Structure 1
């Protein structure tokens, strides 16, 4: 398993897309910190880009890589190697390489320029979690269909739903049921979208929760202590593991 992970990592880290992705994040991060005198404003600007770009690149790159690795995986399956090990090796190779690209492109500038203390640490953590989450979703989309075009289309739909459509649905629910107490409902809906969860955790560290009204105060009371942070971390971990476990189960049972 270790040899397969090393091979996948070595192959992906030489990929021009990953190198370009790292360079783009690095230049963007350095540019924002140079333009903004206040590190917290730079982190806020960086957050908006990270929440859009990181999930998109992660899910598209991982989906394309999975389909391009079909022949390699078929070769491994023909050997006395457990399918589960093959699947996890591919996943870890892709996820770790993209997480390393994010850590270099965003993590290094954030730590170098201070990154407004805890907000910078939460931004790095959220970006790494989102990388692993959307690679999991990419593998799930890939094992559901043999057709590459359909797999990429499904991956794009998942990204579109979590990045853009979900917020509109939440706003619609809050608008139509504004006469009812929706504090607990809003917390539940927050848990159903890892992008929104990462956004709230970082925003609460920049002290902009006052702009979010009563809901912001509710989020701050929940996520400002160790128990709340642990709860959020477990939610993010669940978002990594659940799609991954489902994708692994399908991969083991399907004919390649």
Structure 2
């Protein structure tokens, strides 16, 4: 929501900048990176300082903490990019806010429900690969799974925990999951640049 609000609030300023001899890609990337960097800074301060005071940097959990920060940074990129894309695709603010709320509800709540329904209704079939693929299509689920596996809490995930632990518990699986998150982070940026290339303000 913050990304959508930010985009709509700077539309007049964007129009002013685009009237100057500045590349469109530089204008949009500059504003996007400004938003993302401020969110990353908030994560580093809000999560980093308390954990450093607690002494995580001298404990054996420092790598788990690093993974938490990395996931936070990637999620900031992903959802800021999606927010900018929603804003660039909808000139109508009400429609844009509506899409943003529906998308957030789908990713945070409804997707998990659909995931569970698939596991329940098709429990007689081998769903290991299906579970992994479905997790790849939701960066929130993928991030949560990665963090729980990093903390050795896969048992809390139940049946799918064993499947994810088997794949993501290995270095190859971890690289695959992080690559999927990075893909989620980069695709919206390319779509934003394509969408705004000829957008009329």
How does the TM-score come out when normalised to structure 2?
0.92
Structure 1 position 228 matched with structure 2 position 173: yes
Name 1:167's counterpart in structure 2.
Answer: 112
Q: What is the Cα deviation at residue 105 of structure 1?
A: 0.2
Structure 2: runs of 5+ lacking an equivalent:
none
Structure 1: runs of 5+ lacking an equivalent:
1-59
Q: Which range moves more in the overlay, 89-98 or 204-213?
A: 204-213
Q: What is the Cα deviation at residue 232 of structure 1?
A: 1.4
Residue correspondences, number: 197
On the 8 A contact 1:111/1:120 being kept in 2, the answer is no
Structure 1 position 105 matched with structure 2 position 46: yes
SS of alignment partner, residue 133 of structure 2: helix
How does the TM-score come out when normalised to structure 1?
0.73
Whole-Å separation in 1 of the counterparts to 2:109 and 2:156: 21
SS of alignment partner, residue 80 of structure 2: helix
Q: Deviations over 1:58-106 (max 9, x none)?
A: xx11111111111111111111111111110011000111111111101
Q: Deviations over 1:109-129 (max 9, x none)?
A: 234322844332222111111
Instruction: Go from structure 1 to structure 2 and tell me whether the alpha carbon gap of 1:166 and 1:84 turns closer, same or farther (over 3 Å shift).
Output: same
Name 1:191's counterpart in structure 2.
Answer: 136
On the 8 A contact 1:67/1:148 being kept in 2, the answer is yes
Query: Aligned match of 1:217 in 162, 175, 186?
Result: 162
Name 1:82's counterpart in structure 2.
Answer: 23
Q: Which of the pair has the greater relative contact order for Cα pairs under 8 Å at 6+ separation?
A: 2
CA RMSD of aligned residues (A): 1.4
Structure 1 position 252 matched with structure 2 position 193: no
Query: Aligned match of 2:93 in 141, 148, 153?
Result: 148
Name 1:203's counterpart in structure 2.
Answer: 148
